[in-house]
Amino acid sequence: MKFLDQAKIYMQSGDGGAGCCSFHREKFIEYGGPDGGNGGRGGDIIIECVKDLNTLVDFRYTQHFKAEKGHHGMGRNRTGAAGQDLVVRVPVGTEILSEDKEEVLMDLTTAGQRFVFLKGGDGGFGNAHYKTATNQAPEKFTPGWPGQEIEVWLRLKLIADAGIVGLPNAGKSTFLAASSAAKPKIADYPFTTLHPNLGVVKIENYDFVLADIPGLIEGAHEGHGLGDRFLGHVERTAVLLHLIDITQDDPMEAYHIIRNELAEYGEGLDEKEEIICLNKTDTLGPELSEDIADQFEEAIGTRPYLISGVSGEGVRPLLFKIADVIRTEKQRREDEGKVKDAYTVNAEGYNR
């Protein structure tokens, strides 16, 4: 299945049905009176978040979504049938943006979420609605109200607990394959990974989702390489795993390039918890790898992990560290949510 994380679609709820102008005609009933029914309500556009989708590729082939119109009212006081609602199913992690991409209209992060996004138009009134004691034969009726319409962008941000960032050929896909059952494409040339990959890491009694995104290069925030559009897939993560190829000429420069791109992108990525790893240590040997790790610790105040995605050396302790950070961050977010809920209840005066 082809991966697609952005799509523009057009949605329109159903128009309401028109009311009916009708008068009762029946033998032996001289003054039957008005009996025009009301029009039916137009169908709603409903957004539903489902867990069995992981891409927006379906929206490449279907961009227009229109709910059914309400049916017209009829004589004998018959109300028109309501239009059928239209359900638009999107993957977990989808954001709905305005047409100019400046405003987030909806953020769907939990499977099962279901919202009425556009309401259908109300049906018009038939002439029976306007009958009064002083106007017993009205000929007035109204058309249905039009539905709502909008053009929006769908943007998918994968739900992962940890994200891998780094320059091309840093060994990100190799690490993902070594630590999970994922089978990403691995090759010895840059930009092997063209779209994000997810893998589930099982470490003792704890599981977490690890996301591998295409490599960044200097100037990615200006559109160089594949740009920084895929960084949105690690915005929701609890921790970033920064992989650096220890065999390149200047590993420290590679570190600063990625940190600068994260800062230029914004969205708080440069403030996230970060675990630094020097990868491919099997090619240099332990002594030289330790020397480079010492230089990192002296320069940035944090000692990086030494790992090899190919041999598996140092991978398991690193996974335990990632799991600990994820647990701590999830607990912090849960505590913040409880405090926020308690504050809301107290502010509304319910918790007394």
pLDDT in tens, 261-312: 999 988 888 888 999 999 999 988 889 999 999 999 999 998 999 999 888 8
**The token pair that represents 265 in the structure block:** 């992108």
Q: How far is CA 73 from CA 15, 35, 68, 126, in A?
A: 13, 10, 15, 7
Asked if 188 and 119 sit in the same domain, the reply is no
Whether 118 and 172 map to the same domain: the answer is no
Burial class (CB in 10 A: 0-12, 13-18, 19+), 163: buried
Q: What is the pLDDT of residue 73?
A: 96
| Res 340: pLDDT | 58
Q: Give the integer Cα–Cα distance in Å for 351 and 310.
A: 56
> Residue 80 domain-assigned?
yes
Give pLDDT < 50 ranges for the chain: 1, 350-352
As for how many domains the chain has, the answer is 2
Residues 209 and 299 both lie in one domain: yes
Instruction: State whether 184 and 330 are in the same domain.
Output: yes
Same domain flag for 64 and 180: no
Residues 134 and 179 in one domain: no
Distance, CA of 313 to chain centre: 35
111 and 74, same structural domain? yes
Neighbour order of strands in the sheet with 94-97: 64-66, 6-12, 149-156, 94-97, 104-108
Based on the domain organization, do 233 and 111 belong to the same domain? no
DSSP string, 181-243: S------SSS----S-EEEEEEETTEEEEEEE-PPP-TTGGGT-TTTTGGGGGGTT-SEEEEE
Answer with the one of 136, 156, 176 that is the final residue of a domain. 156
Give the Cα separation of 16 and 144 in Å (integer).
4
Alpha-carbon distance of 316 to 204, in angstroms, equals 11
Which of 130, 156, 182 terminates a domain? The answer is: 156
Between the two ends of the chain, the Cα-to-Cα distance in Å is: 54
> Of 156, 179, 210, which residue constitutes the final position of a domain?
156
145 inside domain? yes
Residue 348 lies in a domain: no
136 φ, ψ to 5°? Answer: -95, 0
Question: What predicted TM-score, i.e. pTM, was given to this entire model?
Answer: 0.79
Angle between helices 172-179 and 315-348 (to 10 degrees): 90
Residue 34 gets which letter from DSSP?
Answer: B
Do 149 and 189 lie in one domain? The reply is no
Q: So what's the pLDDT on residue 210?
A: 92
Question: Taking the mean position of all CA atoms in its chain, how far away is CA 126?
Answer: 44
Answer whether 156's CB lies under 8 Å from 7's CB: no
pLDDT for position 352: 39
Q: Which long-range contacts (CB under 8 A, 24 or more apart) does 290-299 make?
A: 292/246, 292/251, 295/252, 296/251, 296/252, 296/255, 299/252
Give domain status of residue 346, yes or no: no
209: tokens are 């989702």
Q: Which amino acid is at 225?
A: G
CATH of the domain at 31: 2.70.210.12
Q: Give the structural domain span for 142.
A: 1-156
- At residue 7, the pLDDT reads 94
Short-list 166, 183, 176, CA closest to 208: 176
Confidence (pLDDT) at 181: 81
Pair (139, 220) in one structural domain: no
